[in-house]
Structure 1
Amino acid sequence: MGTNTEWQHAEFQRIAAALPGVDADPHGSFGQQDRLDGWSDLDLRLTTDEPIPAVALFGDAPWAYEDVRADTAEVCRTVLTDGRRIDVSITGAGRIQGLSAAPDNDVRFLAAMAAAKLGRGDRLIGGHLTLELLRACLVVAMQLRDRDLGTTVHRTGGARDRYAELVMSLAAVPLTVSPRPNIVERAVEVYATWRTELDPGYVSWWSPLVGLIDRGLDKSSSG
């Protein structure tokens, strides 16, 4: 077993032990050594009609996640606090309980997915996601302007237009994860700076994103 498979196998065994009444099956690249690399996640398919505690699946609260629910299914894609990723697909009436999203969860998840796609060399999807990340920066810039002027109606530009120029300059950075800081890391730094200006109580936490990228670039990563 290669080093890149070690954390996936360990996490699968932990989750299976924590959920003995749930039918759990790994899929995707699990067990396929030639497909695994530092960007690989753990994909699980669960079948159950019982509630599933989030802590049983993810341990500590995920750093970021996307959770899509329907009547007979749920798909939860997560980024853990050390940058590892676990995706869970549930069939049946069972649903994950106990998830709690950070105020900037959507931006965190977007940044993580952009980095993972760019890390695998998928510049088309990675570029699309990165543009969404840059758009999130511009949204905060617009909110700052609204706050400055006390209105959401603007006939002309103003001092905050320089923020648009900065974001557009980031759009010209290569769609790669190296050299560092890469376009995703630069974008989240800008986002955090402007978000803190808008909300002094905002606390940025990007070390899990750094961990995700470090893990992806480290071919010997074992978790």
Structure 2
Amino acid sequence: MTTWHETCLADLSRALPEARVEPYGSVAEGAADGWSDLDVIITTESPVEIETALSGELWAFQSTLSGEEHVIRAVLVDGRRIDMTVRGVEATLSDLAADNAVRFDLALAAAKLGRGSDLIGLHLCLGALRDALVLGMEQRDRELGHAHHREATAHDRDALRVLDSLGAPLEPATALRTYETYGAWRRALEPTYVPDPRGLEALIARSIPA
């Protein structure tokens, strides 16, 4: 059966006819599983628009420029995770989401927890929960009008609620619950913020065998 990795490689080659598209890592070695990302090197002198090349909407990504290489680690709305090294040109990317860093970390956490790598998976989830607690402190200070608190406030009694995201056993859904918790705390501070779990939900659904 053709995997999404193979389909994506073929689509990239069609979308970038003047480029050399080379997979590496687990896909090239025939060792990919449901949690594997696609690692690919794209060598070209022609423009590369990432969402067009991947036929999908970016949900979260990291981007690093080094010399003539542009490294993009992408998570798409449809749950695909693709690490691309574009050689020869700087690729074009969409704007970052307001919570891009948290999205990216929790997508990685879901993949790690799916493989049983609980140490790093939980570490990434705890990072997002720490961010949620910082948001709670900011909300407390805004409502009370100052940042010095000698006594506990009503907000402190809510602190343990962030741990509701966690539990045994740790699993990919732990990352999704963590994102939901982060989203709720951020929305309480920033009413215009709208969390978007689509990429994380799709990643988990795509990766867990039916």
What TM-score does the superposition give when structure 2 sets the normalisation length?
0.89
Partner of 2:77: 81
Contact 1:50 1:95 in 2 (8 A): no
**Given the alignment of the two structures, is residue 131 of structure 1 paired with residue 126 of structure 2, yes or no?**
yes
Contact 1:77 1:86 in 2 (8 A): yes
Q: Pick 1 or 2: higher relative contact order, CA cutoff 8 A, min separation 6.
A: 1
Q: Deviations over 1:40-95 (max 9, x none)?
A: 22111122344311233322321111112222322111111111111101233x11
Partner of 1:12: 9
**Given the alignment of the two structures, is residue 150 of structure 1 paired with residue 145 of structure 2, yes or no?**
yes
AA aligned to 1:163 is D
Partner of 1:98: 93
**Which among 161, 168, 175 is matched to residue 174 of structure 1?**
168
**Given the alignment of the two structures, is residue 30 of structure 1 paired with residue 21 of structure 2, yes or no?**
no
* SS class of match (1:39): coil
Structure 2: which 5+ residue stretches go unaligned?
none
* SS class of match (1:52): coil
Residues in 2 aligned to 1:129 and 1:170: alpha-carbon distance in whole angstroms: 13
Contact 1:126 1:175 in 2 (8 A): no
RMSD (Å) for aligned C-alpha atoms: 2.1
User: Alpha carbons of 1:183 and 1:163: their partners in 2 closer, same or farther (altered >3 Å)?
Assistant: farther
**Which among 114, 118, 130 is matched to residue 113 of structure 2?**
118
Q: Deviations over 1:111-169 (max 9, x none)?
A: 10111111111112212212212112112112211221223444444221123222345
Residues in 1 aligned to 2:169 and 2:39: alpha-carbon distance in whole angstroms: 26
Give the C-alpha shift of residue 11 in structure 1.
1.1
Residues in 2 aligned to 1:168 and 1:6: alpha-carbon distance in whole angstroms: 36
**Which among 182, 185, 192 is matched to residue 183 of structure 2?**
192
Structure 1: which 5+ residue stretches go unaligned?
none
Residues in 2 aligned to 1:155 and 1:58: alpha-carbon distance in whole angstroms: 53
Partner of 1:209: 200
